[in-house]
Every structure is written in C-alpha cells, then in structure tokens.
Amino acid sequence: MICQRPLFPISPLFDEPRRGALPRTLRWTLLGLVSLGQLATLAWYLYTLPLLGKPFPSPLSALAESGIYLMGMMLLKAVQQLNFLPYTYSLLMVGLGFSLEASLIDVLDEVLAMPFWLSTAGASWLRMLGLFLLALGLLRLARQLRGQMNRLHELATLDELTGLSNRRHLQTLAQRWLQPGGRGLTLVMFDIDYFKQVNDRFGHSVGDRTLQDVARLVGAGLPPGAVLGRLGGEEFAILLPGRDADWGRQVAEARRLALAAGTTAAGSVTASFGVASQGPGETAFDALLHRADEALYDAKSAGRNCVCVVEPLSLRSC
C-alpha cells in the first residue's frame, strides 16, 4: 500500500509528529531569502540612503529590526513544532509582509518605481492576510489544546469503565479535606457481594455492565457534596466531606437498600458497606481507608448486604 502524505493536513495537530515540517531544502531556501532581505536592508542603510539624501536610521532601530528578525525565526521554529503546515505558511506571509515593508519598500518605490498598490499596500495586505490566517490557526489550536487538556484531565481523574472518580482523584480530594483546617471527612467503602459468581455465571462483559449499573444505582441518590468513586475491581468509595460517622451510616444504609432494590445486568445484586470518619489528628487518607476497610470486612463477616461503622476510637458496630 502506498501511503501519500497530504500537502495541507487538516487532521488534529498532535497525532502525527513532524507533519507540518517544511521540506529541508525549502526551509533553507526560505531562511536564505529572509537573510538576504536582511542583508539588503543593511546595504540599503549603508549605501542607498546616503545617496538619496535620506537620514540614516539610528543604530538602536537597526538593532531592534535584527531583534524582530530573530524573534520571527524563533516563532517560525515554534510554529513548525505544531505539526500543521498552514501555520508555517501564514507566518511566512507575515514575515514577508514585514520584510517588504521594513526593508524593501523604498527600493521598490523609488529605485524600481513600482506602483503604490504593489509595494506599500501590497506589503500591508500580505501582512494582514498572514496575520489573519495565523490568528485563525491559533484560535483553532487553542480550541484543540483545550480539548486535549480536558481529555487529559478526564484520563487522570476518571475511571474508564464507570465514569466515576478514580482512586487517584478520590485520594486527592480526600487528602485536601483531611488537612488541618479542612472540612473533615467520612468515608463509606463498599464492595459488591459474591461478584466473582457474576463473572463466572454470565461472563466478564456482563460483569462490567453490572459494575456500571451498581455505580448508577448507588450514585443516583447521593446527598449534595458527596463524591462517588471506584477504588478498583468491585470496590467503591463515597467521600462525605464535612460529615460525621452517623451521617455516613445513614447514607450507606440508604444506598445499600437502593442497590438491593434495583436491577443490574446480572439481576439483583447486593453490597457490603464499611464506614469510617476522620479521627482526631488523622490526616492520612490511607489510614482512614484502612479503617473503612476493616468495617467493610466486618460487614462481610456479618453475612454481607449490611453496613458496619468503625468510630474514630476504633469502636465497631454493624
């Protein structure tokens, strides 16, 4: 199969590296042309201006012009990294427009006697068109970057299967609330009962859909401010910022009943719940998670489909 590279790719910017690179020879030719333009400017300053009796520009303005030339080169290099050829072309048009206006206008006007529309106006139009294309391109780039950032944020914080917060995101949020002066936190952890049997009986894909249904059923009636996430496997957690263990027990009980009454891809399923709230001086999420896990273990031992709470002083009740 012959794979031809399109001349003007309109696909996303970052998918295929180096797509927008100008061919090497063209790049060097352009660079040479722009450098020649700069040399012509220098020659103009040194020889032609005095001949025409025009004032010699100050060394400062010559320096600034070289600076602009250098910035232009850097911008061209940066734009080339964006892998999108039209940016490079539009930037070259801007550069050419500036070059014409800054250095060659007098030559075109006075030495070659070109008409105004071709020299001054032509340079301005070229520059404006280039800037317009560049602005359009940058707007498009900004939109794509925003999309990519959102996607990256989703990948970093969401669980792919259920769309809930993933473990890392839960940890980040919890850690913020557990800090001294934070809102305080109660953690509800739950684990689907006999989930292995679901996989064994109906297959892994039904198991996956069951996990999604559990997320939907438990998530549907959570109080405002609560965050539901998946810790991994068939284990989930609910963060209740600024709430105590008793509130956690009530939330867990309500969600347990809602889950047991609902229907999933595997029919009716239940879950066991463990609740722990932040103890005095407790700032580590792992410690809180460990205590909620102990409560969950108690709930499994007590026969499953129930809620157990471990109080900050390690008193346990189911």
Ligand X SMILES: Nc1nc2c(ncn2[C@@H]2O[C@H](COP(=O)(O)OP(=O)(O)OP(=O)(O)O)[C@@H](O)[C@H]2O)c(=O)[nH]1
CB of 203 to ligand X, least distance (A): 8
Q: Does 191 bind ligand X (CB under 6 A)?
A: yes
CA-nearest of 98, 80, 113, 87 to 34 is: 98
Q: Does 167 bind ligand X (CB under 6 A)?
A: no
Going by their DSSP bridges, the two strands 227-232 and 235-241 should be labelled as antiparallel
Contact between 241 and 175 under an 8 Å Cβ cutoff? The reply is: no
Region near ligand X per CB under 6 A, out of 16-24, 111-119, 151-159, 185-193: 185-193
Contact between 187 and 237 under an 8 Å Cβ cutoff? The reply is: yes
Region near ligand X per CB under 6 A, out of 102-110, 186-194, 253-261, 289-297: 186-194
CA-nearest of 159, 262, 273 to 213 is: 262
Q: Annotated catalytic, 294? A: no
Own/partner long-range contacts of 44-47 (Cβ < 8 Å, ≥24 apart): 44/103, 44/106, 44/107
Question: Which residue lies nearer to ligand X by CB, 174 or 296?
Answer: 296
Site string for ligand X, 242-281 (x = CB under 6 A): ----------------------------------------
Q: Does 208 bind ligand X (CB under 6 A)?
A: yes
Q: Does 195 bind ligand X (CB under 6 A)?
A: yes
Tokens 């969600």 label which residue?
255
Q: Does 98 bind ligand X (CB under 6 A)?
A: no
Q: Does 214 bind ligand X (CB under 6 A)?
A: no
Q: Does 199 bind ligand X (CB under 6 A)?
A: yes
Q: Give the Cα separation of 313 and 318 in Å (integer).
A: 15
Closest residue to ligand X, based on beta-carbon distance: 207
Using CA atoms, how far residue 126 sits from 71, 89, 101, 111, 243, in Å, is 19, 12, 10, 21, 64
What is the total count of residues that contact ligand X (CB under 6 A)?
16
Contact between 158 and 164 under an 8 Å Cβ cutoff? The reply is: yes
Q: Which of 28, 116, 125, 194 binds ligand X (CB under 6 A)?
A: 194
Q: Which of 207, 219, 229, 274 binds ligand X (CB under 6 A)?
A: 207
CB of 190 to ligand X, least distance (A): 10
Q: Does 193 bind ligand X (CB under 6 A)?
A: yes
**Contacts with 191 (C-beta within 8 Å, 6 or more apart), sequence order:** 234, 235, 236, 271, 272, 296, 300
Phi, psi of 282 (to 5 degrees): -85, 120
Site for ligand X in 34-63 (CB under 6 A): none
Catalytic choice (101, 110, 234, 294): 234
CB of 199 to ligand X, least distance (A): 5
Phi, psi of 316 (to 5 degrees): -115, 145
Q: Which of 146, 168, 176, 196 binds ligand X (CB under 6 A)?
A: 196
Supply the angle between the helices 59-81 and 85-99 in degrees, to the nearest 10: 170
Q: Which of 204, 290, 302, 317 binds ligand X (CB under 6 A)?
A: 204
Binding site for ligand X (CB under 6 A): 161, 191-196, 199, 204, 207-208, 211, 233-234, 300, 304
Task: Please give the positions annotated as active site.
Answer: 234
